[in-house]
Chain A
Amino acid sequence: MAANRWGIQDPWREVRQLQREMEGLFESVFGRHEEAMPPCNVFAGEDDLLVTCALPGVQLEELNISVIGDTLHIEGERKPEEVERSAYHRRERRTGPFRRSIQLPVRVSATNVSAEYHDGVLSVTLPKAAEEKPRKIEIRVS
């Protein structure tokens, strides 16, 4: 993008700057905005559901995924690094146990659920139960 006549390269830069300052102001007044940990997105396909969660820095042995009925449970613990430290300058990363229970919109085949963890993102693929899958009905021509 070429600079415009005001010489501003990115028209949203100042808006974002203002937004960040506002967020900083709110955080300083109300404390950090608490959100579900870990935040997850749910995607639906024809044959399955995909749940992705932003979950950086978790050891796989600390992660437990289960499907009970129509609910996906993700629980675990994010442990702080075991290091000697003399002083914190900033402490924004959350540690400790977490637990999410995500109610799924359709029944899934719990035995065929698979999960992957790459670069701090957890992806859980849940195939829909056979009765939820669209069935193609053959019309016989007599």
Chain B
Amino acid sequence: MTMIERNEAAPTRSDTESTRQVRQFVPDVDIYETSDSLMLVADMPGVRPDHLNVRLEKNILTIHGEVEPLNVGERNIIAGEYETGDYYRAFTLSEEINQDGIEASMKNGVLTLRLPKAERAKPRKIQVAVQ
């Protein structure tokens, strides 16, 4: 079972003029296996479930969460330890995933993705032609 990270930035939406000019962060993830699935858990604080975009295209799994800046009213920042911005990360999945059975849930800023393992291909006996 393999999941290879793709080291790339989110594609810019060049088809529209008004691209979001926000910072982009790589979310911290845990990836682990259970007996029947590969699980991906990603910390994406500030991402509402309807602002999350999980996409699987040609074995490339991308997770992209948009963060709306928090409304702080008329207040000024006096101490800052984190910045807000979107989250983006991409992985290449091995073929051993049942791509139709992927489930995603988002709760308290944590994305949980369940990627069910596909039935393993049966070992094939290769006939050697004897000349």
Contacts and interface: CB of A to CB of B under 8 A. Distances in A.
Contacts of B46: 54, 119-121
A119 B109 contact: yes
A57 B109 contact: yes
A103 B109 CA distance: 26
Contacts of B75: 43-45, 48-50
B82 A39 contact: yes
Given A85-B39, A92-B29, A41 B79 contact: yes
Interface residues of B, number: 45
Contacts of A46: 74
B60 interface: no
B12 interface: yes
A34 interface: no
Q: Number of contact residues on A: which range applies?
A: 35 or more
B45 A55 contact: yes
Contacts of A89: 3, 31-33, 38
Given A93-B41, A119-B108, A17 B9 contact: yes
B77 A41 contact: yes
Contact of B76 (A44, A48, A85): A44
Interface in B1-45: 3, 7-9, 12, 14, 17, 19, 24, 26, 28-35, 38-39, 41, 43-45
A116 B31 CA distance: 29
A87 B77 contact: no
A40 B110 contact: no
What are the 8 A-B residue pairs with the smallest beta carbon separation, nearest first? A120-B109, A56-B109, A120-B45, A43-B75, A45-B75, A39-B81, A39-B82, A57-B110
Interface of A: 1-3, 9-10, 13, 16-17, 20-21, 35-36, 39-46, 48-50, 52, 54-58, 81, 83-94, 102, 105, 117, 119-121, 123
